[in-house]
């Protein structure tokens, strides 16, 4: 079996909901031992988010929502009241042998309990301590709470997403998934892995300040860069591509395809395929800017008049045969019927001892194709406190000691 990239790395995950838990999960996928600390009886707030929950066997309430399930595999759950001295002592014991601690409490909150970076690095100078918040640790808004939708609005993403002005339903639009949260989680894992490499060179731990705000601005990417270069805010393009054109949904007699013929050569091939080669030199469409921006709607009407004559399968075959990038539009059930999705084994059926089905279907990590140290799924998302006794035993607590902690509602 391949050795995992992060074998031997221990992560203390004190985060809740989505962004930071995703970061901890990525580390777990890459082999780290991730110990998730949750409030006794309540657990991660994310356990109650979403619209679907894993059904438990024999009437067991799993408290594993879609939010929790998608961001907490490969973790061991320990219930712990860190507001009590006995709970703080357990955190400090864990930190002695930990490499990383991830938290997403309000700025300064954990300092009240002596669990901030300055306090814990005295115990373990090699500790990498990562705080994930909405607005960051500094600045006039640092103390404010924040969730994904706020940052899609604040960071510019909604400004460039939605139906173009002048069309029915025009206006800014939030992306369906919690993209700022999700990418913030990836930035969290990336920063931590960078810090691990730095520690390997210097022997020093460090503090990491990750903000959803910072991620939300950065992820507008080349569209934001357009504005920084030109000073002109780009218009919303609906489903249109933000690079070359034509790039948009095209409609067939029985389905939808997304077409990207953004280079001159791809556009030339498209005009030949459509048996309208004169469109290639047509002055309305003879530049990428005209095809993708100023005359985009007019060109898409012409392309749709052609594509509606054929079925989705026929159009896809024609485009594939001409080497023009295109892909069918999938509803969520269709995604899992897609032959490439199936070949890549992106639906990861994972044993789950407490699920009614005996398993839970998870989404395979995009990092699973590394040839020497791939991301793997070793543990299903944990039940609340499932590993409390196990982890405390590793810290040296005996059965009587654990029972006393449970009686005192510390764990």
Q: What is the mean pLDDT of residues 341-352?
A: 97
Say if residue 53 is in the same domain as residue 165: yes
User: pLDDT at position 2, please?
Assistant: 58
Q: What are the pLDDT digits (tens) for 97-107?
A: 999 999 999 99
Say if residue 302 is in the same domain as residue 171: no
Say if residue 165 is in the same domain as residue 66: yes
Is it the case that residue 243 has pLDDT exceeding 80?
A: no
Last residue of a domain, one of 281, 301, 328: 328
Say if residue 200 is in the same domain as residue 348: yes
The CATH number of residue 142's host domain is 3.40.50.10540
- Whole-model pTM: value is 0.94
Say if residue 97 is in the same domain as residue 180: yes
Return the bridge partners of 207, or none.
129
Q: Tell me, yes or no, whether 191 lies in a domain.
A: yes
Say if residue 376 is in the same domain as residue 319: no
Closest-CA residue to 204 (of 99, 320, 54): 99
User: pLDDT at position 3, please?
Assistant: 81
Say if residue 266 is in the same domain as residue 371: no
Q: Tell me, yes or no, whether 108 lies in a domain.
A: yes
| Percent residues over pLDDT 90 in the chain | 91
Say if residue 169 is in the same domain as residue 21: yes
Q: How confident is the model at residue 397 (pLDDT cuts 50, 70, 90)?
A: very high
Q: Tell me, yes or no, whether 71 lies in a domain.
A: yes
Q: Tell me, yes or no, whether 1 lies in a domain.
A: no
| Percent residues over pLDDT 70 in the chain | 100
Q: Which domain holds residue 368?
A: 10-218+343-407
Say if residue 56 is in the same domain as residue 17: yes
Say if residue 273 is in the same domain as residue 401: no
CB 136 within 8 A of CB 106: no
Into how many domains does the chain fold?
2
Q: Tell me, yes or no, whether 368 lies in a domain.
A: yes
Closest-CA residue to 251 (of 181, 194, 308): 308
Q: What are the pLDDT digits (tens) for 111-142?
A: 999 999 999 999 999 999 999 999 999 999 99
Q: Tell me, yes or no, whether 138 lies in a domain.
A: yes
Q: Tell me, yes or no, whether 228 lies in a domain.
A: no
The per-residue pLDDT of the chain, averaged, comes to 95
User: pLDDT at position 166, please?
Assistant: 87
Closest-CA residue to 75 (of 25, 30, 38): 25
Last residue of a domain, one of 285, 301, 328: 328
Q: What are the pLDDT digits (tens) for 37-65?
A: 999 999 999 999 988 999 999 989 999 99
Is it the case that residue 178 has pLDDT exceeding 70?
A: yes
Say if residue 360 is in the same domain as residue 318: no
List active site positions: 181
Euclidean distance between CA atoms 162 and 158, whole angstroms: 7
HEC letters along the chain: CCCCCCCCCEEEEECCCCHHHHHHHHHHHCCCEEEEEECCCCCCHHHHCCCCECCEHHHCCCCCEHHHHCCCCCEEEEECCCCCHHHHHHHHHHHHCCCEEEECCCCCCHHHHCCCHHHHCCCCCCCEEEEEECCCCCCCCCCCCCCHHHHHHHCCCHHHCCCCCCCCCCCCCCCCCCHHHHHHHHHHHHHHHHHHHHHHHHCCCEEEEEEHHHHHHHCCHHHHHHHHHHCCCCCCCCCCCCCCCCEEEEECCCCEEEEECCCHHHHHHHHHHCCCHHHHCCCCCCCHHHHHHHCHHHHHHHHHHHHCCCCHHHHHHHHHHCCCCEEECCCHHHHCCCHHHHHCCCEEEEECCCECCCEEEEECCCCCCCCCCCCCCCCCCCCCCCCHHHHHHHCCCCHHHHHHHHHCCCC
Last residue of a domain, one of 273, 293, 328: 328
Is it the case that residue 1 has pLDDT exceeding 80?
A: no
The CATH number of residue 269's host domain is 3.30.1540.10
Q: What are the pLDDT digits (tens) for 145-165?
A: 999 999 999 999 999 999 988
User: pLDDT at position 44, please?
Assistant: 96
Say if residue 153 is in the same domain as residue 116: yes
Q: Tell me, yes or no, whether 124 lies in a domain.
A: yes
Q: Record the tokens describing residue 398, joined without a space.
A: 């005996």
Rounded to the nearest 5°, which phi and psi values hold at 227?
A: -65, -40
């Amino acid at each position: 079996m391949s050795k995992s990239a992060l074998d031997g790395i221990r992560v203390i995950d004190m985060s809740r909901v989505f962004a930071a838990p995703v970061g901890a999960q990525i580390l777990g996928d890459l082999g780290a031992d991730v110990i998730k600390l949750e409030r006794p009886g309540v657990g991660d707030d994310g356990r109650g988010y979403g619209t679907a929950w894993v059904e438990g066997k024999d009437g067991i309430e799993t408290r594993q929502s879609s939010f929790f399930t998608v961001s907490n595999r490969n973790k061991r759950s320990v219930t712990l009241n860190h507001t009590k001295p006995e709970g703080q002592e357990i955190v400090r014991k864990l930190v002695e042998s930990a490499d990383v601690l991830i938290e997403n409490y309000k700025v300064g909150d954990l300092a009240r309990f002596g669990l901030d970076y300055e306090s814990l690095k005295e115990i373990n100078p090699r500790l990498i301590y990562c705080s994930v918040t909405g607005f960051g640790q500094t600045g006039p808004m640092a103390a404010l709470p924040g969730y994904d939708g706020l940052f899609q609005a604040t960071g510019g993403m909604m400004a460039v997403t939605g139906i173009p002005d002048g069309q029915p339903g025009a206006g800014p639009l939030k992306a369906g998934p919690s993209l700022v949260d999700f990418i913030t989680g990836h930035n969290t894992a990336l920063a931590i892995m960078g810090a691990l490499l730095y520690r390997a060179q210097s022997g020093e731990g460090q503090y990491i300040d990750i903000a959803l705000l910072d991620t939300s601005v950065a992820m507008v990417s080349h569209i934001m860069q357009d504005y920084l270069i030109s000073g002109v805010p780009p218009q919303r393009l609906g489903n249109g591509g933000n690079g070359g054109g034509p790039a948009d949904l095209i409609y067939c007699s029985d389905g939808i395809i997304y077409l990207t013929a953004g280079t001159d050569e791809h556009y030339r091939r498209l005009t030949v395929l459509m048996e309208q080669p004169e469109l290639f030199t047509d002055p309305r469409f003879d530049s990428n800017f005209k095809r993708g921006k100023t005359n985009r709607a007019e060109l898409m009407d012409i392309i749709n008049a052609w594509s509606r004559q054929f079925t989705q399968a026929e159009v896809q075959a024609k485009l594939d045969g001409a080497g023009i990038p295109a892909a069918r539009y999938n509803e969520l059930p269709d995604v899992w019927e897609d032959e490439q999705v199936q070949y890549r084994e992106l639906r990861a059926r994972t044993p789950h001892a407490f699920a009614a089905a005996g398993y839970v279907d998870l989404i395979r990590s995009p990092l699973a194709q590394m040839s020497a140290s791939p991301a793997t799924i070793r543990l299903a998302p944990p039940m609340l406190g499932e590993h409390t006794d196990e982890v405390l035993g590793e810290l040296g607590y005996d059965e009587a000691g654990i029972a006393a902690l449970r009686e005192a509602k510390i764990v």
